[in-house]
Structure 1
């Protein structure tokens, strides 16, 4: 049974809102259940589904980048803090002035 114009607009809108709440599941359900009954609903649910798939790919890429770049970078910063802190401690123990190789001298 075809959708009325009001139902068509409603399901078109809900496919976008469903994407906000349920990611790909919302627009997919609207597309599968109501898409065959109305061209506008099919168009809008397909558009929303494609956008949610695009976002999902972006989330996956961002997660991979986080694990490949950000976490190792954090480890490098931690190791630098450890190494330069030990070097500063050793220099101070000898009575020598130590300056860190990189430092924001915010306090004078």
Structure 2
């Protein structure tokens, strides 16, 4: 039996279920945005969190915080992909030997972080991505 104080979950966190769900959607919407824009390069990772942040920032503080965190993270991921794409183009495709594996690593890492963030947000825990540039304050 583990008697260590567990992290608050559900109603214990004091955050209503609706807010926790919207916060979870803010993180998961990045994946949906990436899938929906995959035909044009998959640059839309930040669209879902941006829409949720704009819709809920005045009424749900936990959602606003988590959507802003997801937005900042996905802007950073999109910027990394754009920089890697530019490097590939500037090297006339030869740089793809380096940039494609880096893109795969960044993509898998982002996927893992987004899933962890969605789970934590649904538990009512404010998640902070370990690697994030907070452009939107």
TM-score, length-scaled by structure 1: 0.60
Larger radius of gyration: 1
Question: Where in structure 1 are there 5+ consecutive unaligned residues?
Answer: 75-108
1:62 aligns with 2:87: no
Residue 7 of structure 1 aligns with which residue? 18
CA drift of 1:72 comes to: 5.2
Residue 47 of structure 2 aligns with which residue? 25
Q: Distance in 1 between matches of 2:95 and 2:55?
A: 47
Asked if 1 retains the 8 angstrom alpha-carbon contact of 2:49 and 2:71, the reply is yes
**4+ residue runs over 3 A deviation:** none
After superposing the two structures, state which structure 1 stretch, 64-73 or 14-23, moved more. 64-73
CA drift of 1:40 comes to: 0.5
Aligned Cα RMSD in Å? 1.9
1:42 aligns with 2:64: yes
Q: Match of 1:37, SS?
A: coil
Q: More relative contact order in 1 or in 2 (CA 8 Å, sep 6+)? A: 2
Q: Deviations over 1:68-97 (max 9, x none)?
A: 1252569xxxxxxxxxxxxxxxxxxxxxxx
Aligned length: 71
Question: Where in structure 2 are there 5+ consecutive unaligned residues?
Answer: 1-14, 34-44, 97-137
Task: Select the structure that is richer in helix.
Answer: 1
Q: Distance in 2 between matches of 1:41 and 1:72?
A: 43
Q: Distance in 1 between matches of 2:75 and 2:68?
A: 10
